[in-house]
Structure 1
Amino acid sequence: MKTSLNKNICISLSLGSTHTSLVAASYENKDLQMSHDDLPFYEKESNRIQILGAARIANNGAIKKGVVSSIDAVTASILETIDEVERQSGIEIESVRACIAGTAAQFDNHVETCTIKGEEIRVSDLEKVSMAVRNQKPPMGFDFVHMIPSSYSVDGKHGIQNPIGMRGSTLSIMHHRVFYPQADLHNIVRSCNNAGVRVQSFAFEPLAAAEGVLTRDEKEFGCISLSIGAHLTHASVYLGNIPVYSKEYPIGSHHITKDLSIGLRTTQAEAERVKKEIGKAIETSSKDINEKIEISSIDGNAIRYVTRKEINQVIEPRVREILQTVYADLRRSRLIARTSKGIVLSGGGALLSGMTLATEEIFSLNARIGMPANIIGAIEGLKSPIWASSIGTLSPLFASVHGDNSLQQTEEISGISSFATKIWHRIKEPFASR
C-alpha cells in the first residue's frame, strides 16, 4: 500500500470555518518534476496533478475564523476525511500539508542585504544572505509559516535570478513572510497528531487560494486573488510571480446568510437556500424584481412571500461591505494600480450570482471566477472555486516554510524542516486509535 511519505504523493488538509477538506494527489510526470528541481518554484513547469481522492465534510464549527475551538472536534473531522480518502485512493495517509487561516496572522516583505567581500558574487555570498534570512526572528508569540523569496538584487538592480559571477558590492533578496500565532499552530498540530498524521508544512489560505486558481501570466503581470469563505475573506496580491500581500478579513458569505435570516425572519438553513438559488450580489435588471418567492417562517410551520427585490436589498449591502473592506486596504497599499490582470474570485462566496459584476464595480478591474486547473483523475466536483485552497495547497510553494525554492542554491531544504515538524516532536504522543 502506498503511503503519503512517498515523495511523489502530496496530501492537502484544509481547515475551514465550516468544512474540513482533504485531497490526495500525485504529480503526473515525476521525472519532469524532478528534472526541474534546480529552478525556483515560480519557474517550474505547471505539471498536471493527478487527484487520487478527495473528501469534504462539515466540521460543525470546530474551527472559528481560523482558530481551533475544539481539538477533539477538529480531530474527529480530520479522521473522517482521512478514512474517506484512504478508501478512495488506497493510500495510507501519514502526513499532510495543512492549509490554515486566521485574522491574527501577519505578513511583511522583508529585504535582507549583505556586503560582497570580493569583486564577484560567489556561492558563499548566497549562503551568507540566506543564513541572515533564516536567523531573523518572528514577533514574540509568533512563528514563521512562510518565507517566500523573490529574485535577487545586486547594487539595487532587481530581477536577478542567479547572481553568481556578477560584480557588485551588495547582494539583496526580498522575502514575503507570514507569521502565525504559536498557540494556534500548536492546536492545529495537536489535532492532526491526535488523528494519527503529522504536519509536513503549512499553507496560508490567502496564498493557497491564489496558487489554486491564478495563471502564470496573472502572477507575472499582477493579480489580486480574493477567496470569499464562510466566515473569512482571504486576499492576496501577486506581482512578478511573487506574493507581496496576504491578509485575512473577518467577514464572509455566512454574514450574508445571517443578514437574510434576520431580514426575512426565517431560519439560517432557509436563508442559505434563498441566497444560493435566488440571491444576487448586484441587481442589474428590473425584470422579475417583484416576483413573489415562497419562504418558510422562522418556526418552519408557516409560509411567507417576499419579492426578489426584498431579498437582494438585504444581500447587496453586505456584498459591498466585503468588497469595499478589501478594496480600501489595497488602495492604501497602492497595489491596485499594479494589478493589470485584475481579480480572480474563489471560495464558496464566489458562486453568488453577480459576484464578478459587483467586484468589477468596486475595484474598477476585470474579474473572473477561478477554477482549479491542471488537475486530472478523480476530479468530479473539484473544478469549483470551493476547492481552490485545497488544490492550491498542493503547490510546490508550500513544500516547506521556505517554499520549494533553490535560489539558495547551496542548501537543500527538507520538507520536514518546518516549524510544524519541530512542534510535532515537542508534543507528540501515541497516536489516537483509528
Structure 2
Amino acid sequence: MNIFGGSSFGLPRSKPLSSKRAHVVSVLDIGSTKVVCLIARLTPRRESNVLPGRTHNVEVIGLGHQRSFGVKCGVIADLDAVENVVRLAVDAAERMAGLTVESLIVNVSAGRIGSDVYTATIDLGGQEVEGSDLRKVLIAAGQQSQGNDRAVLHSLPTGFSLDGERGIRDPLGMYGDVLGVDMHVVTAERAALRNLELCINRAHLTVEGVVATPYASGLAALVDDEVELGCAAIDLGGGMTTISVFAEGKLIHTDAIGIGGHHVTTDLARGLSTRIEDAERLKVVHGSAVANGADDREVVSVPPIGEDDRDQLIQVPKALLTRIIGARVEETLELLRDRIQASGFSPVVGKRVVLTGGASQLTGMPDAARRILARNVRIGRPMGVSGLPAAAKGPAFSTAVGLAIYPQMADQETHAGQGGLFSPFGNGNSRFARMGQWLKESF
C-alpha cells in the first residue's frame, strides 16, 4: 500500500493520545550512522512544574540499535542494507519489551525538508468567532501548502489575528471583522518518503506516523522555558545537521543541511591517509574542535591505508587532527549561523542554542559553537524519560526519544484533507482543546 503516493492527503498521522489511559508506541530513528528502535509506554501524568507542557510520562520498555548501512546524508541509498538493519533493531527492541511491533512512528531527514509560513484571512462581518470560522481559516491556510511533489509533515497554527492585531492564541468567542491565522508547514519530497515507506514495508512493518527529525530532537532536548522564550535546537547527526526553532511553545521553523559528523571523519581519513574506521576512532579518542596549547607537543599514532603497512604506524602531531577537525566544524557552524540569520528567526532564537545529536559530543564543540554562533550554548540530552539504558541517555538518542514524546504533541497540528479538516485538537490538557471541541462539532 502506497501511503505517500497518489492523493496529497495520504500521509499517516499520529493519533492524539487519550488523557485517561496508557498507550504503547514504537518508533524508529533511521540515521546515517545508526538505526534505533524504541518502544515506550506513555501514561497520563498529573500536572507538574517539571516539563509542564507534557501530558504523559514516557517509560522506555524496549530499545534496539544497530550501526547503519545503506543511508547516506539521511537518504536511503541501499534498500536491502537498510531493511536488514531495521529488522535487527526492531527485533532487539521487541525482545527487550516482550511484545511484537506492527507499526512505527518514523523520522525523516531527507527530502529537502521545507519550512514555510502561510497566512490566510476570512471575513467575520463583526460577528463572534465560532468553530466554523476557525475551520474555514485553517483550511484556507492549509490549502496554500498543497503540492504534487511534496508532502506535508506538520501543519501547526502559530498564531491568530483579529483585525490585524496579532499574537492571539485562542480567538474563540472574540469579536472582529477579519480573522487571520499564521500556519507553519513542514514539508518533504514525496520520493524520499516513498523510499522510507518501502524500506519499512519490506521489513513487514507499517508506518503509523512521520515526524521531521529536527522537530523530534527539539522535543527531547529542550526544556519548556526554552520552547516558550525562544531557542534553536541544532541536531548534529552523522550525515545531516538539522535546525529547529521554537518560540511561544510552538515549532516555528526547521532547516537541514547535508553535513554531519561523518564528514569530519572523512576529512580525517583523507588528510591522514588512513581508513574510515581508524579515522573515526581517532576523532572520538583524540579529536577536538578547538586547539589546545599542548597539541603541538602531543603525537598520535595513525595506521596507514593498506594491509601490508598497518603495522608501521605513522606518528603525527595532535595539532594536525585539530586543524582538520576544526576547519570542518567551523565551516558547518558558520553555515548554520548564516541559515538561522537568513531565516529571519535570529531575533526569536535570541541568545540560546542547544546542541544535540551524536556529533555534538565532539570535544570542544560547545566552545566552538559559542564563538561562531555568538550565543549561549549547552548540550541537550533526552529529558523527562524513564527506563533509558545508561548508554542511550546521551544526545545521540535525542531523535529517537523525541519520536516517543511526539504523540502527546500531535493535538497541536491541523491538516486539510479531502474530507475537510483533520484537526486532532482533542487532548484535554492542551490549550487547543477548546478549539478542537468546536471544530469537531462543526463537521
Q: TM-score range by the shorter chain?
A: 0.7 to 0.9
Q: Residue 111 of structure 2 contacts residue 190 of structure 2 at CA under 8 Å; is this kept in 1?
A: no
Normalising by structure 2, report the TM-score. 0.84
Corresponding position of 1:377 = 387
Q: Residue 200 of structure 1 contacts residue 400 of structure 1 at CA under 8 Å; is this kept in 2?
A: no
* 2-structure distance, mates of 1:400, 1:145: 13
* 2-structure distance, mates of 1:21, 1:203: 15
* 2-structure distance, mates of 1:20, 1:320: 27
Q: Give a deviation string over 1:122-145, Cα, whole Å, max 9, x none.
A: 122112223324434433311111
* 2-structure distance, mates of 1:44, 1:302: 57
Please state if 1:286 is matched with 2:293.
yes
Quick one: which of 375, 380, 395 aligns to 1:365?
375
Question: What is the Cα deviation at residue 312 of structure 1?
Answer: 0.5
Corresponding position of 2:65 = 56
Question: What is the Cα deviation at residue 296 of structure 1?
Answer: 1.3
Q: Residue 44 of structure 2 contacts residue 55 of structure 2 at CA under 8 Å; is this kept in 1?
A: no
* 1-structure distance, mates of 2:131, 2:411: 24
Please state if 1:222 is matched with 2:233.
no
* 2-structure distance, mates of 1:120, 1:400: 23
* 2-structure distance, mates of 1:251, 1:335: 21
Question: What is the Cα deviation at residue 378 of structure 1?
Answer: 3.9
Q: Give a deviation string over 1:218-257, Cα, whole Å, max 9, x none.
A: 1111111111111111111112222222111011111111
Normalising by structure 1, report the TM-score. 0.86
Corresponding position of 1:10 = 25
SS of the residue 1:121 aligns to: coil
Please state if 1:201 is matched with 2:209.
yes
Moved over 4 A (4+): 4-7, 398-401
Please state if 1:105 is matched with 2:130.
no
SS of the residue 1:73 aligns to: helix
Report the residue type matching 1:175 in the other structure. M
Corresponding position of 1:25 = 40
* 2-structure distance, mates of 1:325, 1:16: 21
Q: State the identity as a percent.
A: 27
Report the residue type matching 1:342 in the other structure. R
Quick one: which of 159, 167, 173 aligns to 1:159?
167
* 2-structure distance, mates of 1:88, 1:378: 12
Q: Give a deviation string over 1:175-215, Cα, whole Å, max 9, x none.
A: 21111111211111122122222111111111111111011
Corresponding position of 2:104 = 96
Report the residue type matching 2:65 in the other structure. R
* 2-structure distance, mates of 1:143, 1:361: 37
**Structure 1 stretches of 5 or more lacking a match?**
34-41, 414-434
Report the residue type matching 2:376 in the other structure. N
Q: Give a deviation string over 1:88-141, Cα, whole Å, max 9, x none.
A: 001221111111102522120112222114521112211222332443443331
The farther-off stretch of 362-371 and 376-385 is 376-385
The farther-off stretch of 399-408 and 208-217 is 399-408
Cα RMSD after superposing both structures:
2.4
Report the residue type matching 2:379 in the other structure. I
Quick one: which of 309, 314, 323 aligns to 2:333?
323
SS of the residue 1:17 aligns to: coil
* 2-structure distance, mates of 1:317, 1:154: 49
Corresponding position of 2:95 = 87
SS of the residue 1:50 aligns to: strand
- The 3 A distance-change label for structure 1 pair 341 and 327 is closer
Report the residue type matching 2:401 in the other structure. I
Corresponding position of 1:275 = 283
* 2-structure distance, mates of 1:130, 1:175: 8
Corresponding position of 1:45 = 54
* 2-structure distance, mates of 1:294, 1:73: 33
The farther-off stretch of 310-319 and 125-134 is 125-134
Please state if 1:128 is matched with 2:128.
no
Q: Residue 13 of structure 1 contacts residue 99 of structure 1 at CA under 8 Å; is this kept in 2?
A: yes
Corresponding position of 1:420 = none
- The 3 A distance-change label for structure 1 pair 176 and 74 is same
Question: What is the Cα deviation at residue 398 of structure 1?
Answer: 4.8
- The 3 A distance-change label for structure 1 pair 405 and 213 is farther
The farther-off stretch of 383-392 and 401-410 is 401-410
Report the residue type matching 1:19 in the other structure. K
Q: Residue 45 of structure 2 contacts residue 56 of structure 2 at CA under 8 Å; is this kept in 1?
A: no
- The 3 A distance-change label for structure 1 pair 68 and 345 is same
Number of residue pairs the alignment of both structures matches: 399
Corresponding position of 1:252 = 260
* 1-structure distance, mates of 2:412, 2:103: 13
Question: What is the Cα deviation at residue 171 of structure 1?
Answer: 1.5
SS of the residue 2:391 aligns to: coil
* 2-structure distance, mates of 1:326, 1:46: 32
Report the residue type matching 2:302 in the other structure. I
* 2-structure distance, mates of 1:243, 1:258: 33
SS of the residue 1:289 aligns to: helix
- The 3 A distance-change label for structure 1 pair 236 and 388 is same
Question: What is the Cα deviation at residue 57 of structure 1?
Answer: 0.6
* 2-structure distance, mates of 1:66, 1:273: 22
* 2-structure distance, mates of 1:273, 1:398: 40
Report the residue type matching 1:287 in the other structure. A
- The 3 A distance-change label for structure 1 pair 377 and 311 is same
* 2-structure distance, mates of 1:351, 1:89: 29
